[in-house]
Amino acid sequence: MWLEIPDKPEYKGKNYQFIVSVEPKGTSTGGSKYMRILVKNSQAGDKKKE
């Protein structure tokens, strides 16, 4: 799984939340798992120097 956020000013400095449901393949029981993924997009110009 990956996430691509466009490199545009309107997306900078925003937070996002995604709810993901996963169910094991080949099971007939209700074995779904739910995950909450939180993403914080940095401000324009916030790049790590290495």
pLDDT value of residue 24? 82
Whole-number Å distance between alpha carbons of 8 and 11:
6
Output DSSP code: residue 44: T
2-43 pLDDT, tens digit per residue, is 888 888 889 899 999 999 998 888 777 778 889 999 999 887
pTM of the full structure: 0.57
Are β-strands 15-22 and 33-40 bridged in parallel, bridged antiparallel, or unpaired? antiparallel
User: What is the C-alpha separation between 7 and 23, in angstroms, rounded?
Assistant: 33
Predicted pLDDT at 38: 93
Give pLDDT, residue 48. Answer: 55
